């Protein structure tokens, strides 16, 4: 029974859930508690280094077993810290790849850019 721990700011899409089940063999998805989710989504830009800040996320990953997957996407520095931590615990860190489609729409003297992202696959770090 493989788990996918989720360290990112969004909910999985149905396509991502299907892909994780089919291609990673995942049958359980572990979201962060709300307080960690809020912390993950709001990394203070003013912080010089993230070693202390990352400890709560490391503690969250301490419940994972070797061979479990971890989807890690977010602040580059925090992602780097946690990818290395996950690898040190024999977890498998991954990120989601997408195809992006964009279109510019003119409305009067304003231009809006619309983007659509389609999930393609999970890729190992």
The two tokens of residue 88 are 């040190």
Strand-pair category, 92-107 with 69-72? parallel
Report the Cα–Cα distance between both ends of the chain, in Å, rounded. 22
CATH 3.40.50 holds for 2-124: yes
pLDDT digits (tens, 9 = 90+) for 3-52: 999 999 989 999 999 999 999 999 999 999 999 999 999 999 999 999 99
- Tell me which residue of 16, 6, 73 sits closest to 36, measured CA to CA: 6
Domain boundaries, the chain: 2-124
From the CB of residue 61, how many other CB atoms can be counted at a distance below 10 Å?
A: 20
Contact in structure between 94 and 72 (CB atoms under 8 Å): yes
Q: What is the pTM of this model?
A: 0.87
Q: Identify the bridge partners of residue 122 per DSSP, sorted by sequence position.
A: 96
pLDDT digits (tens, 9 = 90+) for 55-94: 999 999 999 999 999 999 999 999 999 999 999 999 999 9
Q: Name 20's Cβ contacts closer than 8 Å, sequence gap at least 6.
A: 4, 12, 26, 29, 69, 122
């Amino acid at each position: 029974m493989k788990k996918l721990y989720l360290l990112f700011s969004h909910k999985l899409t149905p396509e991502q859930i299907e892909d994780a089940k089919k291609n990673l063999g995942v049958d359980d998805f572990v979201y962060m508690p709300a307080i960690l989710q809020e912390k993950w989504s709001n990394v203070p830009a003013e912080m010089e280094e993230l070693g202390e800040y990352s400890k709560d996320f490391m503690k969250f990953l301490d419940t994972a077993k070797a061979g479990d997957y971890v989807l890690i996407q977010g602040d580059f520095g925090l992602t780097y810290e946690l990818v290395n931590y996950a690898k040190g615990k024999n977890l498998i860190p991954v990120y989601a790849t997408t195809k992006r489609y964009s279109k510019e729409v003119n409305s009067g003297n304003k231009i809006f850019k619309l983007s659509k992202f389609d999930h393609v696959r999970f890729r190992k770090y």
